[in-house]
Chains A and B, each alone.
Chain A
Amino acid sequence: MSNSIDWAIVIADPRFQVLARRKTRFLWGLMAFSVAYYFALPIGAAYFQEIFRVRVWGVVNVGLLFALSEFVIAWVVAFYYSRIANRDFDRLAAEIVADVSTQTEA
Chain B
Amino acid sequence: MKDQKTLFAALVSAFVALMIPVSVYADDAATGHYRWLTFGVFATVILLTMYITVVAARKVHSASDFYTAGGGITGLQNGWAIAGDYLSAASFLGIAGLISQYGYDGFMYSVGWLVAYITVLLLIAEPCRNIGKYTLADILAYRNDPKKMRVVGALSVITVSTFYLTAQMVGGGVLVKTLIGIDYDVSVIAVGVLMLVYVLFGGMVATTWVQIVKAILLVIASLAIVMLVWTPYGFSLPAFLADIVGDARVQAQVAKLLGDPAKAMSAAELGQRFLEPGLYLKAPIDQISLSLALVFGTAGMPHILMRFFTVPTAQDARKSVVWAMAIIGGFYVLTLFLGFGAAHLVGPATIASVDAGGNMAGPLLAQYIGGGPDSLWGNFMLAFVSAVAFATIVAVVAGLVLAAASAMAHDLWVGVVRSGEQVSAQQQINAARVATVLVGTTAIVIGIAAKGQNVASLVALAFAVAASANFPCVLLTLYWKRCNTQGVVAGMIVGTVTAVGLTLVSPNLTYPKLVRAAAHKILDAESQKRADIAASIASGNAAAIAKATQASAALDKAVRKATDDMAKVEGQETSFIGLEKPLFELKNPGVVSIPLGFLAVILFSLFTRDKRAAQMWDEVYARQITGIRVSRPTRH
A residues at B contact (CB < 8 Å): 1-3, 5, 7-8, 10-11, 16, 19-20, 23, 27, 30-31, 34-35, 38-39, 41-43, 45-47, 49, 52-53, 55, 57-61, 63-64, 67-68, 70-71, 74-75, 77-79, 81-82, 85-86, 90, 93, 96-97, 100, 104
Interface of A is mostly: helix
Q: Would you call B288 and A43 a contact (CB within 8 A)?
A: yes
Closest A residue to B104 by CB, please name it.
A63
Among A5, A7, A38, A82, contact of B295 (Cβ-Cβ < 8 Å): A38
- Decide yes or no whether B220 CB sits under 8 A from chain A: no
Given contacts A27-B122, A78-B325, A82-B322, contact A45 B272 (CB under 8 A): no
Which one of B20-28, B83-91, B189-197, B628-636 is at the A interface?
Answer: B628-636
Given contacts A58-B239, A61-B276, contact A31 B122 (CB under 8 A): yes
- In the bound assembly, the distance between CA atoms of A35 and B288 in angstroms comes to 12
Convert B316-356 into 0s and 1s, putting 1 for each residue whose CB lies closer than 8 angstroms to a CB of A.
00110110011001001100000000000000000000000
Q: Would you call A60 and B237 a contact (CB within 8 A)?
A: yes
- In the bound assembly, the distance between CA atoms of A58 and B315 in angstroms comes to 44
Q: Would you call A19 and B626 a contact (CB within 8 A)?
A: yes
Q: Would you call A7 and B618 a contact (CB within 8 A)?
A: yes
CB contacts (< 8 Å) of A57 on chain B: these are 237-238
- In the bound assembly, the distance between CA atoms of A43 and B295 in angstroms comes to 15
List, sorted by A's number, 16 A–B pairs whose CB atoms are closer than 8 Å: A3-B633, A5-B628, A5-B630, A11-B618, A27-B122, A43-B284, A43-B288, A60-B238, A60-B241, A71-B111, A78-B322, A78-B325, A93-B628, A96-B628, A97-B627, A104-B630
Given contacts A53-B276, A59-B245, A85-B318, contact A11 B621 (CB under 8 A): yes
Q: Which chain B residues (582-628) contact chain A, with CB distance < 8 Å? A: 618-619, 621-622, 625-628
Closest B residue to A60 by CB, please name it.
B238
Q: Would you call B634 and A3 a contact (CB within 8 A)?
A: yes
Min distance, Cβ A47 to any Cβ of chain B, angstroms: 7
Q: Which chain B residues (42-84) contact chain A, with CB distance < 8 Å? A: none
CB contacts (< 8 Å) of A85 on chain B: these are 318
- In the bound assembly, the distance between CA atoms of A28 and B373 in angstroms comes to 52
Among A30, A41, A100, A104, contact of B122 (Cβ-Cβ < 8 Å): A30
Q: Would you call A59 and B242 a contact (CB within 8 A)?
A: yes
- In the bound assembly, the distance between CA atoms of A91 and B389 in angstroms comes to 43
- Decide yes or no whether B312 CB sits under 8 A from chain A: no
CB contacts (< 8 Å) of B632 on chain A: these are 2
Nearest first, the 10 closest Cβ-Cβ pairs linking A and B are: A58-B238, A46-B284, A45-B277, A7-B618, A93-B626, A2-B630, A7-B619, A38-B115, A34-B118, A10-B622
- In the bound assembly, the distance between CA atoms of A79 and B121 in angstroms comes to 11
CB contacts (< 8 Å) of B319 on chain A: these are 82
Q: Would you call B315 and A78 a contact (CB within 8 A)?
A: no
- In the bound assembly, the distance between CA atoms of A10 and B627 in angstroms comes to 12
Q: Would you call A23 and B625 a contact (CB within 8 A)?
A: yes
CB contacts (< 8 Å) of A19 on chain B: these are 625-626
Among B117, B119, B275, contact of A31 (Cβ-Cβ < 8 Å): B119
Min distance, Cβ A97 to any Cβ of chain B, angstroms: 5
- In the bound assembly, the distance between CA atoms of A7 and B630 in angstroms comes to 12
Given contacts A58-B238, A67-B107, A78-B118, contact A11 B622 (CB under 8 A): yes
CB contacts (< 8 Å) of B631 on chain A: these are 1-2
Given contacts A31-B123, A58-B239, A70-B111, contact A38 B276 (CB under 8 A): no
Q: Would you call B318 and A46 a contact (CB within 8 A)?
A: no
Q: Would you call A58 and B242 a contact (CB within 8 A)?
A: yes
CB contacts (< 8 Å) of A8 on chain B: these are 618
Q: Would you call B241 and A74 a contact (CB within 8 A)?
A: no
Among A58, A64, A68, A75, contact of B325 (Cβ-Cβ < 8 Å): A75
CB contacts (< 8 Å) of B417 on chain A: these are none
Min distance, Cβ B440 to any Cβ of chain A, angstroms: 34
